[in-house]
Amino acid sequence: MRDVAIIVPPKPWTGITVKALRDEIARGGDEVFGLSYQVVYLWYSRVLLSVVEELNGLEYHRVLDENPVISFRVKTVDTLRDKLIRQDSTPLFRIHDIIGARVTANMTLQQQNELVRIIAANFPKCRISDLRYHPHTGYRAVHVICRLQRGIFVEIQVRTALQDGWANCFEAISDRYGREIRYGEFPVDEDASRVVNEMMELSRECGSLEEWLSFYSSGSKVLALSRVSDAVSRLRQAENYIQTPQLERFFEMIGKYIRALQLPDEQGGARGRNDNQIQPENRR
């Protein structure tokens, strides 16, 4: 473990002003006397850049063949408002994902576990939220929620390429049909309902494929991970179509995506979840 050097400067607000701002944001505004969300946003941005610098310095080569993709963001006032309305008693500085980073790589579940351990070991105060086996509205990932100095939190999402591709596509769908679907509210619109159903099935297929990878030797995993790359590519194409009226093209791409995920029968072996083939690794 390296010494953590995350910079958390003094907060440019008092408890009274940040509480007033929290209530004002929930009402639809973004500024109170003495404090605006722009000031809060810039302050959190400074903290986040320090977190990302820490993430960039980790020894990913211990787990992965190449460095992961690291992205990051501070919540906009609109997305923060949605969360404050849903969590109507949570103080602003207790929201765990005002700042967030994402670490993504084409990797197996075992590699994802190791990556989570490396990240968690470099943040003294953190807890792990594993959403892979109990997805939240289809969303699968592992979150490392870290408590920094001055009581500030950062959420670090660790995703496989497959988990990330699914999440990005579902995010595009929620932009079109309403963010409520991300929290389990089913749409009334027939097309939207069909889209969400397809995505839930895709989430299950993703989980089955990633579990399947756990049973294979390293040589077989190379082939399987190439299949994952192909599936993610098709999912990105589907994401483009959801932004247009061409829903049938979306369903066509989703169908190709599902077929790309399905495992060939000639592999043999026992069947796993969703009736997918599982072949134990040869350990001789």
* pLDDT per residue as tens digits for the range 211-240: 877 776 555 666 666 777 777 777 777 777
Res 3 pLDDT > 80: no
More confident residue, 208 or 102: 102
**pLDDT for the residue numbered 262:** 62
pLDDT surpassing 50 at residue 270: no
CA gyration radius for the chain?
A: 21
Percent share of the chain, pLDDT over 90 = 47
Q: Please determine, for residue 265, whether its predicted confidence score (pLDDT) is greater than 60.
A: no
3-state percent helix, strand, coil for the chain, nearest multiple of 5: 55, 15, 30
pLDDT of 272 higher than 70: no
What DSSP string runs through 164-181?
Answer: HHHHHHHHHHHHHH-GGG
Q: Which residue's structure tokens are 């944001």?
A: 25
Provide the pairing of β-strand 31-32 with 69-74. unpaired
Mean predicted confidence (pLDDT) in 68-96: 92
Give which of 124, 168, 160 is closest to 142, Cα–Cα: 160
- The owner of tokens 């959801």 is 242
What pTM was estimated for this model as a whole? 0.84
Q: What is the pLDDT of residues 186-218, one digit of tens each?
A: 777 887 888 888 888 888 888 887 887 777 655
Give the pLDDT band of residue 15 (cuts 50, 70, 90). very high
Mean pLDDT of all residues belonging to the chain: 83
For residue 47, with 0-12 CB atoms within 10 Å meaning exposed, 13-18 middle and 19 or more buried, which class applies? Answer: buried
Per-residue pLDDT reduced to its tens digit, 28-71 = 999 999 999 999 999 999 999 999 999 999 999 999 988 999 99
Residue 128 CA to chain centroid, in angstroms? 13
**Closest by CA position to 201, among listed 154, 257, 156, 148:** 257
